Homo-oligomer: A and B are copies of this chain.
Amino acid sequence: MRNSSLVSINDFTKDEILKIVRLAADFEANPNRDLLKHKVIGSLFFEPSTRTRLSFETAISRLGGRVVGFSNSSSSSTTKGETLKDTIRMVSNYTDLIVLRHPMEGSARYAAEQSQVPIINAGDGSNQHPTQTLLDLYSIKKTQGTLENLNVFLVGDLKYGRTVHSLVQAMSHFNPVFNFIAPEELRIPEEYRLWLRSKGIKFYEHDEFTDIISRADIVYMTRVQRERFVDPIEFAKVKDVYILKNAMLDNTKDNLRILHPLPRVNEIDCDVDANPKAYYFQQAENGVYARMAIICSILGLA
């Protein structure tokens, strides 16, 4: 993967994914190294994202690298009518690598074609967010000891959530059983169901999960947004079904861990936070180590 961009999780083979997971563990054990000394990394966020941006910038800073960039497009030349192509050409002449967040689907692939240096896609609209998937995989490996043969519950908006789609694709390397829990309007798209069947991967669909959560190794929560529903009555009917409450964790497996890409609004009750099975804040921290691994791997430094 050296010197190539990371645009989609599908750019990585199973071996490459396992290499990142292994490197992330190394970086967590020893985070302060000067591997990025004298490197300058462009951090171009055309829309705000505190978590992703700060996680990348922390990873770079802890490795001794420097960041230049902007945190929203109002501070960029885009306001003067500059195209994405020209911005990328320019910044790729200044820097050793570019981290790009852009609201438009496909923008990261397009940027990678224009750039003189590798691009890491930090989210292009509803399309892909591969570094999120890699930190999710690292979090699963850390908490379960393995990525293989796990029972993975995905809950909430399975139609539009890019983190869900990428995680389904990446986990499919590791013989999982999936349980998809979503309202009818937000079911996992047909194309993913066909693809899973073609690969012989078991999956089940449900419209609630209170009764079956006892079987889960991983519960991956996402938010059900009001704006996704045409009919507000439909939203009102389902919204409370997809909220995780602490009592639901009573008879679950010891190894169960709750993940969430964050930010969370109200889809996980605050009293879950103190439950040892809640793992979303540590998951966010794992993002720093996963991103150290990704950056150094792409730059040929690890």
Residues of A within 8 A of B (CB): 32, 38, 40, 42, 48-51, 54-55, 57-58, 61-62, 66-72, 74-82, 85-87, 89-91, 93-95, 262-265, 270, 273, 281-282, 284-285, 288
Instruction: Knowing A49-B77, A89-B281, say if A54 contacts B82 (CB, 8 Å).
Output: no
Assess whether A263 is in contact with B86, with CB atoms less than 8 Å apart. yes
Q: Which of chain B's residues have a CB closer than 8 A to the CB of A95?
A: 58
Whole-angstrom CA separation of A72 from B73 in the bound complex = 11
13 contacts between A and B (CB under 8 A): A40-B58, A40-B61, A54-B90, A58-B94, A61-B66, A70-B71, A72-B74, A80-B265, A86-B264, A90-B284, A93-B282, A93-B288, A94-B288
Count identical subunits in the complex: 3
Instruction: Knowing A86-B263, A90-B51, A94-B288, say if A68 contacts B57 (CB, 8 Å).
Output: yes
Closest 9 CB pairs of A and B: A82-B263, A61-B66, A93-B285, A50-B77, A32-B38, A71-B75, A58-B94, A57-B68, A50-B76
**Binding site secondary structure of chain A:** helix
Whole-angstrom CA separation of A70 from B48 in the bound complex = 10
| Nearest CB in chain B: distance from A99 CB, A | 13
Q: Which of chain B's residues have a CB closer than 8 A to the CB of A76?
A: 48, 50
Q: Which of chain B's residues have a CB closer than 8 A to the CB of A264?
A: 82, 86
Q: Which of chain B's residues have a CB closer than 8 A to the CB of A55?
A: 94
Assess whether A50 is in contact with B62, with CB atoms less than 8 Å apart. no
Residue in B51, B86, B285 whose CB lies within 8 Å of A77: B51
| Nearest CB in chain B: distance from A27 CB, A | 13
Whole-angstrom CA separation of A85 from B273 in the bound complex = 11
Assess whether A77 is in contact with B93, with CB atoms less than 8 Å apart. no
Nearest to A64 among chain B residues (CB) is B38
Q: Which of chain B's residues have a CB closer than 8 A to the CB of A67?
A: 61
Whole-angstrom CA separation of A82 from B42 in the bound complex = 26
Instruction: Knowing A58-B40, A66-B61, say if A86 contacts B50 (CB, 8 Å).
Output: no
